[in-house]
Homo-oligomer: A and B are copies of this chain.
Amino acid sequence: MGKLLIVGTVAFDAIETPFGKTDKILGGAATYIGLAASQFNVESAIVSIVGDDMPEEYLTLLKDKNIDLSGLEIVKGGKTFYWKGKYHNDLNSRDTLVTELNVLADFNPVVPSGFKDADVVMLGNLHPSVQLSVINQMEKRPKLIVLDTMNFWMDNSLPELVEVIKHIDVITINDEEARQLSGEYSLVKAAAKIEKMGPKYVVIKKGEHGALLFHKKEVFFAPALPLEEVFDPTGAGDTFAGGFSGYLTQTENISFNNMKNAIIQGSNLASFCVEKFGTERIKKLTKEETTKRLHQFKTLSQFDIELQ
């Protein structure tokens, strides 16, 4: 069984969408990544930080998914990172109403000794220096290092971001971020430029428009499943990353062909994530449900044209 090390936030989210709103609920990149990866046969651990205001039931939820939390620091008297956001009517954009870093401001990640030899490291969206610190703690070079990031770090910590992506294998960002990071409008050119910055594989997430995987001259496209309703997009990108890295950890095969499958697995799990608020849908997913929907992905995108 492959080992997957996950780094990212475990947080409180308060979410408002056109369909309703929540009080503080469990959120954070590492939470979604961990829950998604738990769909696969992997040994996983989360490195993160919370305050002691984090309810025991949320931690139990993660532990019950066999996620090792020995790398989760709980700060006595500290407050957990908190994000509050409101989505616009089309759900494609949102306003951040509150960001309280709290204990995250002084986060020094410590990789548990049992995971310093992890096969795959999934660096969730966080300060690039925190991401780099985790890479530096690994005892041997992981077979695969995947990094997710966002425009915030391009705006505020570009030198650190440029440094950490020299050390990774796969970067996952959205289309606008790919354009910002590369200065190229064409995603083909953007991916080529980003590959020169370090990552051998560039995954460009386009939300409801699917995801692209670039590697040298090869390109793969995974559609998003057309849904009747998107209820809450929060965590979809992290869930995608968790499905992607979890599947690659399970299969222990990092060929381009298997990465195609990993992208589909990530898209599949993300399609569930958006159906309910927060982690509601993803935490209760069954193998039967995910397999059924994988068949839908096949029907959606596979064709059988005769070529000479």
Contacts and interface: CB of A to CB of B under 8 A. Distances in A.
Contacts of A230: 186
A209 to B, nearest CB: 4
B294 A305 contact: yes
Interface string A176-219: 00000000011111000000000000000010011010000011
A229 B226 CA distance: 27
Contact of A188 (B188, B227, B305): B227
Give this chain's copy count: 2
Interface residues of A, number: 40
A295 interface: yes
- Which of A206, A228, A294, A301 has the most CB atoms of chain B within a 10 A radius of its CB? A301
A185 B87 CA distance: 15
Given A186-B227, A212-B226, A218 B305 contact: no
Q: Is the interface of A mostly helix, strand, loop or mixed?
A: mixed
Contacts of A221: 210, 223, 226, 300-301
A188 B226 contact: yes
A300 B220 contact: yes
Interface stretch (A96-104, A107-115, A257-265): A257-265
B226 A187 contact: yes
A19 interface: no
Contact of A261 (B260, B291, B303): B303
A264 B303 CA distance: 9
3 closest A-B pairs by beta carbon, nearest first, are A209-B209, A221-B223, A260-B303
